[in-house]
Amino acid sequence: MAEIVPGAFHFPGFLDAAAQERLAQEIAAVIEQAPLFVSRMPKSGLPMSVRMTNCGPLGWMSDRDRGYRYEPRHPETGALWPPIPKMLLDIWDELTRYPKPPEACLVNVYSNDAKMGLHQDRDEADFEAPILSLSLGADCRFRFGGPKRSDKTVGFTLSSGDALVFGGPARLCFHGVDRILPPILTPLPAPLAGQGARVNLTLRRVT
Ligand code: MD3
Ligand code: FE
């Protein structure tokens, strides 16, 4: 475990190969119940390059007219999001030690050319709770900065099986995904093969 900056913890290889396979199976089942969809930027309506879905009582989404928000239902099927798999609830307890369970698990699916611009996560009412992120599949170059967009940033590689926890002073730091690295060494486990090159799960408290 490495503390990148105060409050930001990196657990390289937290999930071994067998745990990554089990998690991939769980996420494939979530995608069957809640198909991947494309969110759009507020106002411009430009599509994001990442495809996403959610599990848990609330799911993150965005569209042109109503912007970034959490919703209890899938924007296309109208169904409630499927529950967060027990495996993920257990990892949340182990790594965050936070007394309440996550309310949202966002599943981001990256193709080879997808990226995510530098942003803050501030669509939640509760900034006390930490955020937990898990990565599967291709490596990516991740960028992490400070509470202001203009703060200096550090880049590092996130690999399949890595976990990150962001709490306290790191909770509102800017971050983004610069690029996906060639997925030759770490393709997505079989149940998710064909969906993309990399999957990231972000677990959050919302209310
Ligand atoms: C640092 N996702 O969905 S995970 C996001 O790899 C998001 O899909 C990226 O940023 C991804 O909002 C990065 C790492 C992460 C997630 C949340 C954070 C880093 C964070 C919240 C605060 C600070
Ligand atoms: Fe984010």
How much distance in Å is there from the Cα of 119 to the middle of ligand 2? 6
Question: Hey, what are 90's tokens?
Answer: 């257990």
Q: Indicate if the alpha-carbon torsion angle 175, 162, 188, 24 is positive or negative.
A: negative
Check whether 183 has a pLDDT greater than 80. no
Best residue among 175, 179, 188 to mutate for probing ligand 1's pocket (most ligand atoms within 8 Å of CB) is 175
**Cα(18)–Cα(123) distance, integer angstroms:** 34
Percent of the chain with pLDDT over 70: 99
What's the whole-number average pLDDT of the chain?
97
Host domain of residue 125: 2-204
What's the domain count of the chain?
1
**In the prediction, which pLDDT does 197 show?**
95
Measured between alpha carbons, how far is 87 from 134 in angstroms, rounded to an integer? 12
Quote the pTM value.
0.97
Q: How many CB atoms lie under 10 A from the CB of residue 120? A: 14
- Condensed to tens digits (0 to 9), the pLDDT of residues 1-42 reads 999 999 999 999 999 999 999 999 999 999 999 999 999 999
- Beta-carbon contacts of 133 under 8 Å, excluding residues fewer than 6 positions away, are 163, 164, 165, 166, 200, 201, 202, 203
User: What would the pLDDT profile of 119-166 be if each residue is shown by its tens digit?
Assistant: 999 999 999 999 999 999 999 999 999 999 999 999 999 999 999 999
Which CATH number goes with the domain that contains 22? Answer: 2.60.120.590
Confidence of residue 182 (pLDDT cuts 50, 70, 90): confident
CA distance 112 to 110: 7
Measure 181 CA to ligand 1 centroid, in angstroms.
Answer: 17
191 alpha carbon to ligand 1 midpoint, in Å?
23
